[in-house]
Amino acid sequence: MSKYIFVTGGVVSSLGKGVSAASLGALLQSRGYTVHVRKFDPYLNVDPGTMSPLQHGEVYVTHDGFETDLDLGYYERFLGIKLSRTDSVSGGRIYWDVLNAERHGDYLGATVQLIPHVSNKIKEYIARPTDTDFVICEIGGTVGDIEGKIFLESIRQFANDVGRRNVMFAHLTLAPYLEQSGELKTKPTQMSVRRLLENGIQADVLFVRSPRMLTPDEQAKIGMFCNIPAKNVITSMNVDNIYKIPLVYEEQHVFDIMAEHFGLPMAAGDMSKFHKIADYLTADLPTCTIGMVGKYFDVPDAYKSLNEALFHAGVQNNVHVKIKKIDAERFTPNDCKDVDGILIPGGFGARGVDGKIAAAGYARENNIPFMGICLGMQVSVIDFMRNVVGDKDANSTEFAKNCTPVICIMNDCDKDNMGGTLRLGAYPCNIKPNTLAHQIYGADQIFERHRHRYEMNIECQAVLEKNGMIISGLSPDGRLPEIVEIPSHKFFIAGQFHPEFQSNPFTGHPLFNAFIAAAMKK
Ligand code: GLN
């Protein structure tokens, strides 16, 4: 049977529960244990796919095509695991299941109630079998939220069901620093732990977010008020890079706390891959500037996975990658004068698309290393058709009704639907031999994740290839172009998928690694 760690948060939101949960997983993995992670979000949206990125940042896409909260991206990157649609569970999904079951008559006329019907449904998702030693479950929101109460009740019951020694409760809080008195205040933490206790949950370990390390006195004081041994009161220091958090926890012997709780043998862990990143961060390395021509820059985290993938590629190439945010709506060639590479990310809607087409053209004409992602690939094809092939009417049917449809909807069943359905999740792509894509991936077939409605029109292949843009990646049925490149260019490659979802800090991603390597050469 797996052992469970529940991560809750209190005092304020945005304390970094996702990174903390992932870091606990990293400590366990470093001792050879296998780990799975799940996120429970009490809100009532049935899935996060319909939530505005303006509120929630990037929509992360799993291998099996589920649009999830970006925390799942942290888990996958930190831990090298693949999560799926049942690992991101919202309150809406739980109630939806329960109400459907009720309509279906599954409860045989019983009165349907929060306890046991909703709580049992939550426990069912928690307990879905994995073949891992540990399952870490992050509970979204903050202790005290009304909609989160039933989740706390469910994890309380769950601990009672499977035995207290098989479940660990980790709680994140904040210790604000008051400058006037020069004090770190512990009261909010005490209140938060008490709040948790009102729900029948005694925290086993605390992660106290703070600008500096807690002193032994502060640890002892918090421990005394919160019923926790002082050594289990951990400082979750503010750090400049999230990959330092596992090291911060390691230094405070967090694995030992877990080992003691679960009755595991004490063991030293191999944290070298995190040390390598920490060393990279302080190393004196050259800088490479990537111009990112996008439009969601006011939203923190809208390009989360992309920023990560560029960072990872910097680690692999021993270079600090600086991202220059270029607003597509105001794009002028001048914006690219000082960049070593141009990247056009994904996007939806016509706003800013002209600037993106112009940026792709600028990279093409000036032999600047170029990488296009999803919409970034689509605009590079539109530019090529318009300005190399000479068809000024070339466009995507997303932006113009009457045009030469070089980008259009290909899923036949949805032709009459407004824009069709999104192609979501991982799809195979066959790679043509003797191409840049083949050299980069070193494979004949790859799987990358998608999130888009429109496709490049395969009917354009002949004219594009005659003029110097080739399709180097194609769906196995030969209908959907997946990768284009310009062989005469120094480095010009674009994909219909989102490679950033599969990058990780320890190996990077082949496409991003190659892109940064090319940019460095420039
Ligand atoms: N808007 C484009 C489409 O739906 C591109 C989407 C994207 O870049 N993720 O096909």
108: left (phi over 0), alpha (psi -120 to 50) or beta: left
Q: How far is the CA of 420 from the centre of ligand 1 (A)?
A: 12
> Has residue 417 got a pLDDT over 50?
no
Contact between residue 222 and residue 190 where contact means Cβ atoms under 8 Å apart: yes
Of 22, 273, 251, which Cα lies nearest the Cα of 134?
22
Average pLDDT over every residue of 320-345: 96
Ligand 1 contact, 246 CB (< 6 A): no
Q: Where are the alpha helices (DSSP H) in 84-147?
A: 91-103, 119-127
Q: How many CB atoms lie within 10 A of CB 348?
A: 18
Ligand 1 centroid vs 496 CA: distance in angstroms? 8
What mean pLDDT do residues 204-217 have?
Answer: 95
Given this model, what pLDDT does residue 411 score?
62
The answer, yes or no, to whether any atom of ligand 1 lies below 6 A from the CB of 374, is yes
For residue 476, say if its preceding peptide bond is cis, omega within 30 degrees of 0: no
460 tagged catalytic: no
Q: Specify the pLDDT at position 301.
A: 86
Average confidence (pLDDT) over 287-306:
92
Phi, psi of 173 (to 5 degrees): -135, -175
Does the Cβ of 453 fall within 6 Å of ligand 1? yes
DSSP codes, 206-267? EEEEESSPPPHHHHHHHHHHHTS-GGGEEEEE--SSGGGHHHHHHHTTHHHHHHHHHTPPP-
pLDDT tens, position by position, 374-411: 999 999 999 999 999 999 999 999 999 899 999 999 76
Q: Cα(355)–Cα(89) distance, rounded to whole angstroms?
A: 38
Task: Work out the pLDDT band at 421, boundaries 50, 70, 90.
Answer: confident
When pLDDT is averaged across residues 308-312 and rounded to a whole number, the result is 97
Which atom of ligand 1 is nearest the CA belonging to 374?
8
Question: According to the model, what pLDDT value does residue 53 have?
Answer: 67
Please provide the average confidence, as pLDDT, over all residues in the chain: 94
pLDDT at 13 over 90: no
- Tokens 């590079």 belong to 380
* Catalytic site includes residue 438: no
Q: What is the pLDDT of residue 414?
A: 43
Maximum Cα–Cα distance across the chain? 75
Task: State the catalytic residue, choosing from 374, 408, 429, 460.
Answer: 374
356 within ligand 1 shell (Cβ under 6 A)? no
The answer to whether the CB of 452 is under 6 A from ligand 1 is yes
Q: What is the pLDDT of residues 439-498, one digit of tens each?
A: 999 999 999 999 999 999 999 999 999 999 999 999 999 999 999 999 999 999 999 999
Of ligand 1's atoms, which has the minimum distance to the CA of residue 347? 8
Rounded mean pLDDT, 51-55? 72
Q: How close is the Cα of 398 to the center of ligand 1, in Å?
A: 9
Residues 6+ apart with CB under 8 A from 280: 314, 315, 318
* Residues 16-25, mean pLDDT to the nearest whole number: 95
Ligand 1 centre to CA of 336 (Å) is 24
| Confidence label for 418 from pLDDT (cuts 50, 70 and 90) | very low
CA of 349 from ligand 1 middle (Å) equals 8
Task: Give the angle 435-439-445 at the CA atoms, nearest 5°.
Answer: 85
Half-sphere exposure of 509 (CA within 13 A, CB side): 23
Which residue type does 175 have? A
Nearest atom (ligand 1) to Cα of 422: 4
SS3 180: coil
pLDDT at residue 415 greater than cutoff 60: no
In the predicted model, what is the mean pLDDT of residues 332-349? 95
Rounded mean pLDDT, 67-95: 94
Question: Is the pLDDT at 262 greater than 80, yes or no?
Answer: yes
- Answer whether residue 339 shows pLDDT above 60: yes
Predicted confidence (pLDDT) at residue 69 exceeds the cutoff of 60:
yes
Say whether 498 is catalytic: yes
Residues 448, 482, 485, 500: which is the catalytic one?
A: 500
pLDDT over 50 at 225, yes or no:
yes
Point out the least confidently predicted range of 63-67, 80-84, 216-220, 418-422. 418-422
The confidence score (pLDDT) of residue 420 equals: 52
500 pocket-lining for ligand 1 (C-beta < 6 Å)? no
Q: Residue 298: pLDDT band by 50, 70, 90 thresholds? A: confident
Q: What is the pTM of this model?
A: 0.93
> Is residue 345's pLDDT more than 80?
yes
